[in-house]
Amino acid sequence: MVGIYERMQATASRLLTKYGETVTWNRQIPGALPDPAKPWQNAVPTVDKKQVKVVFFTDTLEDRQLQHYRKRTELPEGLVNGLMVNVDFIPDLNDTITRNGTDLVVAAIDPVNPGGTILMYYVEFKL
């Protein structure tokens, strides 16, 4: 079953790599408790930075209507959508990305996985 999607995975990876924007994915890896006898003390997480390719877009009619409505207003921006190539780590909702010096928080992650093979990730970010 895996062989069926190899061509799709290669095509998705090639196109996302070609048209994607390089961003830094900041993985939050939970740290060990400083004292196991005191679980109320916070563990300090470590941050693992990975360079990934993401294609950013707004894709729904509602998003385009909202962008048109917000033009010339002071409303804050909403969610940013993106497609990310399949990576060698498991993305988590606690992670953030750095795009052009701006940190974006991961709001939702949806793997695109026909037949159980992950081709790419559909990710929503919030400011």
- The whole-model pTM stands at 0.71
22-72 pLDDT tens trace = 999 999 888 777 777 877 777 778 889 999 999 987 656 566 566 556 555
For residues 113-126, give the mean pLDDT. 84
65-104 pLDDT tens trace = 665 565 556 555 557 888 998 889 999 998 999 999 989 9
How high is the pLDDT of residue 78? 58
Q: Are 73 and 66 in contact (CB under 8 A)?
A: no
Alpha-carbon distances of 59 from 82, 102, 127, rounded to whole Å: 9, 21, 18
CATH classification at residue 80: 2.40.10
Give the residue numbers spanning the domain of 49: 2-126
69 vs 88: CA distance, rounded Å: 39
The total number of structural domains that make up the chain: 1
